[in-house]
Amino acid sequence: CFSSSSPPGRDQIVEMFDHAYGSYMKYAYPADELMPLSCRGRVRGQEPNRGDIDDSLGNRPCVSVCEQVLNKLDEFEDAVRKTVSDVRLDNDVVVSVFETNIRVLGGLLGAHVMADLLRQRGERMQWYRDELLHMAKELGHRLLPAFNTTSGLPYPKVNLRYGVLNPLSRTGTESDTCTACAGTMILEFAALSRLSGESVFEANARKALDVLWERRQRGSDLVGTVINIHNEEWVRRDSGVGAGIDSYYEYLMKAYILLGDNVFLERFNIHYSAIMKYISQPPLLLNVHMHNPTVSVRSWMDSLLAFFPGLQVLRGDLKPAIETHEMLYQVTKQHKFLPEAFTTEFRVHWGQHLLRPEFAESTYYLYKATGDPYYLRVGQSIVEKLNAYARVPCGFAAVQDVRTGTHEDRMDSFFLAEMFKYLYLLFSEKSELPIDIDDYIFTTEAHLLPVSLSTTKPPCQGNNTETVPVAQEEDLFTHSCPSMETLFPNNPSFAKTIRDGYKYLTGVGRAFHPLPVREIELPLH
């Protein structure tokens, strides 16, 4: 599928993907995930229970459009055939609404969009009759019972066969959900509504976003981490951009890009101003109390916030994106990978590394925004460390502790869906891709949805969210995309100038002086 002249980075990514995906197909399919140390599939109920982690598993093989992006069209067509013939959604299993939405529903929709594109081109997939869209619609209807609450915030879990309130459902007793869990439905549900013509999905996702917006702290314009789905009261009031909140902010921005609805951009901009005022202390991103945001509530950061520089690139705010990304890169240089959590002094707080793709994602966005080859070198370092410290004979294994390098017997589906896609795109020119990547928006799981949805598929009747205008400070990028020529005319080294101030951040190379951090109030939960 590739010409011999492609750069070594891209060939290497394809070889790594073949190793990971090939191992999954050889040893694990049709299980949810591969156990790369045991060389077998993880089938829910047959392995020791891992609590909430297993709520992302539903006895459904992974669905990804990685093959399409990597130009492996034969493999993509074969994966679609297998999904259509082998996957059944009528399972008596309790799953996470959030994880099932972003992993499975997003995968089905992204794969449908690509299959439909190939069919229209007339070269392959002529047999395809929207089977994946029909499966997506069925799954959407199986997730809908979760939204049957007085508030409109969804239950965190649902039984795919029995829903939530059925005596056989074994769920429905939960009262709390995380902000990201309730606020990361709009892309997949709106796309499903636009593609299927059934407005109910988009309407429910919009209602959940409306509640989160209404429940923001009006003084700070921040949201908390956990909210009660019945009385809409905040259960955890710490506010940041990492675990528990992350993709809520991401989906406000991307909902505007996908749907063209100004209300999402207005909300995002108001939240973003609050984030930059209270949470961002370049290069750090700290958690604060939503009601008293001048006080930090913990002295560590989690690795999920590594997506945020990429979101800042979409917003056009490149300087803090470069600063935070450089901080994260310094941490990876010190510990090989981003630990699941690390302190404000860049020491390990929680040493696990699950092969998360967020740092690669931000690296991709920064390279496309700046054209600075420095970010290609960052990408190459990610590739080298994965091969040196995570690669095993049957795939790639998570790292139990970055300090010891011991492996864990898991290779999450997001590693296949996201990591290789972002790395391949990082090392590719637009002309080398089988699709025009600018015609698509990435979901939080890196599935691709076409931005043409907002014009080719009109909004469902009565589904436009209304909001009372809120006074906000506007800047250059409040309503427009950034232009490198305007921002940094004839200055290719602008990114380096910003990075240089953080070169010795972790103390490697010269005496380390910890950054001043606002007063820490501990403990909190």
Which of 67, 77, 246, 302 is labelled catalytic? Answer: 246
Q: Are 469 and 270 in contact (CB under 8 A)?
A: no
Residues 6 or more apart whose Cβ sits within 8 Å of residue 352: 339, 340, 398, 399, 400, 401, 402, 408
Which of 340, 372, 409, 412 is labelled catalytic? Answer: 340
Strands (E), 356-515: 391-392, 395-396, 398-401, 406-408, 440-442, 448-450
Residue 188 falls in the annotated catalytic set:
no
Token couple for 157: 């879990």
Q: End-to-end distance of the chain based on CA atoms, in angstroms?
A: 51
Which of 54, 55, 99, 372 is labelled catalytic? Answer: 99
Residue 474 falls in the annotated catalytic set:
no
User: Rounded to 5 degrees, what are φ and ψ at 408?
Assistant: -120, 145
Helices 358-370 and 374-389: crossing angle, nearest 10°? Answer: 160
Contacts 24+ apart (CB under 8 A), 208-212: 208/147, 208/152, 208/153, 208/154, 208/182, 208/183, 209/183, 209/251, 209/252, 209/255, 209/264, 209/267, 209/465, 210/152, 210/465, 211/151, 211/152, 211/153, 211/182, 212/153, 212/179, 212/182, 212/183, 212/248
Parallel, antiparallel, or unpaired for β 406-408 and 440-442?
unpaired
Cα separation, 321 vs 477, in Å, equals 14
Beta bridge partners of 163: 159
CB atoms within 10 A of CB 18: 14
Q: Are 419 and 360 in contact (CB under 8 A)?
A: yes
- The 8-class DSSP code of residue 229 comes to T
Q: Are 34 and 28 in contact (CB under 8 A)?
A: yes
Residue 47 falls in the annotated catalytic set:
no
210 closest CA partner among 244, 261, 166, 144: 261
Length of the chain: 525
Residue 358 falls in the annotated catalytic set:
yes
Collapsing DSSP states into helix, strand and coil, what is residue 130? coil
Which of 55, 67, 358, 372 is labelled catalytic? Answer: 358
Q: Are 303 and 362 in contact (CB under 8 A)?
A: no
Residues 6 or more apart whose Cβ sits within 8 Å of residue 51: none
For residue 465, the Cα-to-chain-centroid distance in whole angstroms is 24
For tokens 């290789």, the residue is 420
Q: Give the residue numbers marked as catalytic.
A: 99, 246, 340, 358
